[in-house]
Amino acid sequence: RDRRLDLVIALLEPIQREYAKLDHRDVAAVLREGAQRARPRAAATLARATEAIGLITAS
């Protein structure tokens, strides 16, 4: 095999091993919690941006 391919495989193998250990339900729960916490901040940022560029909103 090409040496570059061997280097890529060597780089990815430990990442793949750790990924395989994850409980994907736990990962999904953490992502949901993070999204829930980020939503109010994102909404405020979007509102400021919308106002700054003069967009008219339906609300």
Contacts of 33 (CB under 8 A, 6+ apart): none
CA–CA dist 37, 1 (Å, integer) = 46
CA–CA dist 40, 46 (Å, integer) = 10
Q: In this model, does residue 57 exceed pLDDT 90?
A: no
Whole-prediction pTM: 0.57
Residues in the chain: 59
**35 domain-assigned:** yes
Q: Residues 1-44: pLDDT tens digits? A: 799 999 999 999 999 999 999 999 999 999 999 999 999 999 99
With bands split at pLDDT 50, 70 and 90, how would you rate the model's confidence at 56? Answer: confident
Domain boundaries, position 12: 3-50
**24 domain-assigned:** yes
* Predicted local distance difference test score (pLDDT) of residue 31: 98
Number of domains composing the chain:
1
With bands split at pLDDT 50, 70 and 90, how would you rate the model's confidence at 58? Answer: low
**55 domain-assigned:** no
Cβ 57 vs Cβ 50: under 8 Å: yes
